[in-house]
Amino acid sequence: MAENKYGELTKTLLKIGQIMIESGAETSRAEDTMKRIAIKAGIRKLDVYTTLTGIVIGINEVDRTGVVQIYRRATNMEKVVAINDLSRQFTEGKITFDQLKAGVQNVDHYVPDFQWWLKAVAAFIISGGLMMLFSPSTANWEDFIPAGCIGTIGFLISFFLHRFYQMQFISDFVASMVIGFLAVTALKLHLIISFQGVIIGSVMPLVPGIIIMNGLRDMISGHLLAGFARSIEAVLTFVFIGAGVGLVLRFFG
Amino acid sequence: MKLFIINVVLSYLGSLSFGIINNVPHRLLNCAGITGIFGWLVYLACKGMHLGSFVSNFMGSLVIGLLSYVFARYKKVPILNFNVSALICLVPGALFYEGIYDTVFKGVAVGMNIVVKVMIVILALAVGTMLSQLIDEALKRLGKKIKS
């Protein structure tokens, strides 16, 4: 009986860690959550080694270890919040371990994404709005709708490439190249006035905000390995976005 | 006054939309937008006082960090929800574009000047975030000491 219990605990902890890293939580938060749950479940000390591509945990007092590999990372804060709520309820003693296990399975399968069209509308608002916010002197209100459309197209290309092919940096590169190309075309057709503003605005939905933030927070809390990996990921994304726009500027600008 | 309202509305909408892209749950979107407004207004105020881009970005991200901690404690959710959505307004997009433009048309030597400026701004955002985390940590310790 006891053997079985620890096996289940190991599996659930790994699942929790996997979901949290996959959906974009900080490494320290994932480790903290796993440790709290383990202590509440009656383990004295849990050893965790978390990286961006895999998690190793060991419960040394009962000779249990577990490894899980993480293939893809996407951003879904809804899952992080759901897991956080579950772990909070469990450590406060409001739900049992079986309920926690069922809840974690539920989060893994049924927590929804926002619809893609809602994200497209959000990308529209970001592109147009941030264009006006960043360069009030050069940008015009007439550019709001073209910039929004270009930004939305760029975001959707990156979104679907990322979803279907899981190629992280190339999807951003292609998206920013398309953005630059559309902006150049629109300028030639006299649809937009300020080329600079439109490019600045429509690139904004591609900015890897959560990766930058996670990288910083991981570095501060001492997870140097994960922090550096994330920071490099963010820098590379910026470089690829810049390369896409720069390439178009070089040949058509 | 009109410019002020435009700034408030756009920064609110921008932060909220970036929250949607990152799948921040519905009930937290409003708070994320409010955090974004305050971060952007503080940044603008510092910029208006000619404090330079380092100080203005630093103050903006510090305010965002502190306000996010308040909301995170109040709603009992991870702080990342508010932090990330609000910080999008402070990402140096215009400077980044200038860097690319100068690298392509005026040569690498001119472009690198601006790329270093972008790095300095990002460093300012990082320092602001770190300081807000430190302040939160210190307040938590203080609270525990007072309780015990």
Residues B11-61 have pLDDT tens digits of: 999 999 999 988 888 889 999 999 999 999 999 999 889 888 899 999 999
Cα-based distances in Å from A5 to A9, A40, A98 = 6, 14, 11
Say yes or no for a CB contact (<8 Å) between B97 and A129.
no
Residues A76-115 have pLDDT tens digits of: 888 899 999 999 999 888 888 888 888 888 888 877 777 8
- CB–CB of A217/A25 below 8 Å? no
Query: CA nearest B47: which of B111, B121, B97, B118?
Result: B121
**φ and ψ at A57, to 5 degrees?**
-125, 150
Distance CA B14, CA B91 (A): 12
CB-based contact, B107 to chain A, within 8 Å: no
Nearest CA in chain A to B98: A196
Distance CA B97, CA A225 (A): 30
Q: How many domains does chain B have?
A: 1
Say yes or no for a CB contact (<8 Å) between B23 and A130.
no
Classify the phi-psi angles of A140: left when phi > 0, otherwise alpha if psi is within -120 to 50, otherwise beta. Answer: beta
Distance CA A74, CA B101 (A): 30
Distance CA A82, CA A96 (A): 16
Say yes or no for a CB contact (<8 Å) between A114 and B23.
yes
Across the strands, what pairs with A65? A58
pLDDT of residue A1: 43
Tokens of residue A37, six digits: 């749950």
Chain B contact probe: residue of A19, A28, A121, A204 with most B CBs at under 10 A: A204
Q: Which of residues 37 through 66 in chain A touch B, CB cutoff 8 A? A: none
A44: exposed, middle or buried (Cβ count in 10 Å: 0-12, 13-18, 19+): exposed
- CB–CB of A50/A25 below 8 Å? no
What pairing do the DSSP bridges indicate for beta strands A47-50 and A54-59? antiparallel
What pairing do the DSSP bridges indicate for beta strands A64-69 and A54-59? antiparallel
CB-based contact, A207 to chain B, within 8 Å: yes
Domain that holds residue B94: 2-147
Rg for chain B, CA atoms, rounded: 17
Say yes or no for a CB contact (<8 Å) between A200 and B78.
no
**How many cross-chain Cβ pairs, A to B, lie less than 8 Å apart?**
144
- CB–CB of A14/A66 below 8 Å? yes
Say yes or no for a CB contact (<8 Å) between A126 and B28.
no
Residue type, position B75, single letter = K
Query: CA nearest A176: which of B77, B14, B38, B96?
Result: B96
CB-based contact, B57 to chain A, within 8 Å: no
B46 CA: distance to closest CA in chain A (Å) = 15
The separation between CA A87 and the C-alpha centre of its own chain, rounded to angstroms, equals 21
pLDDT of residue B71: 92
**φ and ψ at A24, to 5 degrees?**
95, 35
Residues B50-85 have pLDDT tens digits of: 888 899 999 999 999 999 999 998 988 888 889 888
Distance CA A249, CA A185 (A): 12
Say yes or no for a CB contact (<8 Å) between B22 and A238.
no
Interface predicted TM-score (ipTM) of this complex, two decimals: 0.87
Closest Cβ–Cβ partner in B7, B76, B129 for A88 = B76
Q: Which of residues 107 through 126 in chain A touch B, CB cutoff 8 A? A: 113-114, 118-119, 121-123, 125-126
Residues A52-69 have pLDDT tens digits of: 888 999 988 888 889 999
Distance CA B103, CA B48 (A): 29
Residues B83-140 have pLDDT tens digits of: 888 888 888 888 888 888 888 888 889 989 998 998 899 889 888 988 998 898 898 8
pLDDT of residue B66: 93
Q: What is the DSSP string of A207-244?
A: --HHHHHHHHHHHHTT-HHHHHHHHHHHHHHHHHHHHH
DSSP letter assigned to residue B90: G
Task: Kindly state the percentage of chain B with pLDDT values over 70.
Answer: 100
Closest Cβ–Cβ partner in A113, A121, A205 for B23 = A113
pLDDT of residue B64: 93
Give mean pLDDT in consecutive 10-residue pieces for chain A, a chain of 253 residues.
76 91 87 89 87 89 88 84 90 87 86 83 90 78 89 92 82 92 91 86 87 84 86 89 90 77
Distance CA A112, CA A17 (A): 19
Closest Cβ–Cβ partner in B23, B76, B80 for A213 = B80
